């Protein structure tokens, strides 16, 4: 499981100010902290940066590589900025991202081939994100994978991203995104890689509920074959869930539940009340969150209390 640290993101006011002031110290501190907390790669989201993209990417890649040698994910829609970053990186980088929209596909994908980079390919076209798993898979199969093959990009470097959307408002996407990951892994041999922007699943959810929704969904995604996630490495509870399912640690009640949850999801089954110790609040939290993510119970901010 590859964790791509998401915290250097232009939407964060701290990052925005640091980028504007070229305050390398702040960015470097964030980079180090994420790596110390288990980030395998760092996402550098500089926003679209239409005018200053090249300049900003040039600066931020240097700043981050001064303090860490984990690979970098270059996150912007500015193609020139990505190319600048690709020229500077010391290790194989990731392009974040391209999509099935021809304008982005025909500029992003050739860069990955030219610079031997990994690339995230979103199953999204000009007209938006398909609602169903099938729609996403079709886009991967008919547009993204053929293009990568044509350019000689190995499947091990192609990261298909089915686009995770929030349970608060687009709940019906939850099971579809999960199944898309499952189907992506069956499309080719060797299979393509898969990635999600995990935290999106809890966008516009009150802060105290976000981590539980993120880590519960991650267990399901891992069971469906997810290889990597752009996520918050500082979330210790997220690491704990990953550790439990990776080590199959059933020494606790929660561990038992999560391993069952993982196995059942892998077998395309769902948790049942008999799998859960309803006297354990942590297990009940996972159970209720699973009902939300299965799209069986309508999400409301107070869903854990019900």
Partner 1 sequence: MPVTVQLPKEKWTGTVREVTLGAAAAEGGTRKKIVTVGGESTLPFLTFEGEIPNRPMVALEVQDRYPDDWSDLLKDVWGDTMQDAAAWAQKAEEYGADLIVLKLQSAHPEGDNTDAAQAAETTKAVLAATGLPLIVYGPGQAEKDNEVLVASAEAAEGERIALGNCEDKNYRTIVAAAMAHGHLVVAKTPIDVNLAKQLNILISDMRLDLDRILMDPTTGSLGYGLEYTYSVMERLRIAALTGDSMTQQPMICTVGEEAWRAKESKVNEGVPEAWGDWDQRSINWEVLTATTLIEAGADIVVLRHPESVKLVTKAISDLMAA
Binding site for partner 1 (CB under 8 A): 168-169, 171, 296-302, 305-306
Burial of 283 from C-beta contacts in 10 A (0-12 / 13-18 / 19+): buried
What are the helix and strand counts (H, E) for the chain? 12, 8
The two tokens of residue 286 are 């996972």
Torsional sign, CA 25, 210, 251, 244 = negative
Least gap, CB of 299 to partner 1 (angstroms): 5
Least gap, CB of 294 to partner 1 (angstroms): 12
Of 97 and 171, which has the nearer Cβ to partner 1?
A: 171
H/E stretch holding 36 reads: helix 24-36
Spatial CA neighbour of 287 closest among 306, 267, 268? 306
Of 115 and 294, which has the nearer Cβ to partner 1?
A: 294
What's the CA gap between 64 and 97, in Å, rounded? 20
Least gap, CB of 209 to partner 1 (angstroms): 12
Q: Answer whether 118's CB lies under 8 Å from 95's CB.
A: yes
Q: Answer whether 194's CB lies under 8 Å from 181's CB.
A: yes
Of 204 and 252, which has the nearer Cβ to partner 1?
A: 204
Of 203 and 250, which has the nearer Cβ to partner 1?
A: 203
Of 268 and 300, which has the nearer Cβ to partner 1?
A: 300
Structure-token match 């990052």, residue found:
15
Least gap, CB of 298 to partner 1 (angstroms): 5
Of 268 and 298, which has the nearer Cβ to partner 1?
A: 298
As beta bridge partners, residue 9 has: 45
Of 102 and 169, which has the nearer Cβ to partner 1?
A: 169
Least gap, CB of 302 to partner 1 (angstroms): 5
Of 25 and 296, which has the nearer Cβ to partner 1?
A: 296
Least gap, CB of 287 to partner 1 (angstroms): 15
Least gap, CB of 168 to partner 1 (angstroms): 5
Least gap, CB of 197 to partner 1 (angstroms): 21
The two tokens of residue 172 are 């019906």
Compute the residue count for the chain: 306
H/E stretch holding 272 reads: none
Q: Answer whether 254's CB lies under 8 Å from 280's CB.
A: yes
User: Distances from the Cα of 278 to the Cαs of 218, 244, 272, 281, in angstroms?
Assistant: 22, 20, 11, 7
């Amino acid at each position: 499981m590859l964790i791509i640290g998401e915290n250097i993101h232009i939407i964060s006011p701290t990052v925005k100010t640091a980028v504007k002031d070229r305050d390398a110290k702040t960015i470097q501190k964030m980079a180090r902290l994420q790596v110390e907390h288990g980030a395998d790669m760092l996402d550098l989201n500089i926003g679209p940066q239409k005018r200053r993209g090249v300049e900003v990417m040039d600066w931020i890649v240097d700043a981050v590589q001064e303090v860490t040698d984990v690979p970098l994910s270059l996150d912007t829609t500015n193609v020139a900025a990505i190319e600048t970053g690709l020229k500077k990186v010391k290790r194989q980088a990731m392009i974040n991202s391209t999509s099935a929209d021809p304008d982005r596909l025909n500029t992003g994908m050739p860069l990955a081939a030219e610079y031997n980079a990994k690339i995230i390919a979103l199953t999204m076209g000009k007209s938006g994100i398909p609602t169903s798993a099938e729609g996403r898979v079709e886009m991967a199969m008919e547009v993204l994978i053929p293009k990568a093959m044509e350019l000689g990009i190995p499947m091990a470097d192609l990261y298909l991203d089915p686009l995770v959307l929030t349970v608060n408002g687009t709940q019906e996407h939850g099971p579809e995104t999960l199944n898309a990951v499952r189907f992506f892994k069956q499309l080719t041999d060797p299979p393509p890689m898969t990635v999600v922007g995990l935290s999106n699943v809890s966008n516009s959810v009150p802060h105290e509920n976000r981590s539980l929704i993120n880590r519960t969904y991650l267990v399901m995604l891992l069971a469906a074959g997810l290889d990597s996630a752009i996520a918050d490495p500082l979330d210790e509870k997220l690491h704990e869930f990953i550790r439990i399912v990776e080590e199959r640690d059933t020494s606790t009640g929660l561990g038992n539940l999560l391993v069952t949850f993982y196995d059942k999801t892998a077998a395309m089954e769902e948790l049942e009340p008999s799998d859960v110790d309803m006297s354990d609040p942590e297990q009940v939290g996972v159970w209720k969150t699973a009902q939300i993510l299965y799209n069986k119970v309508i999400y409301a901010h107070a869903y854990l209390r019900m």
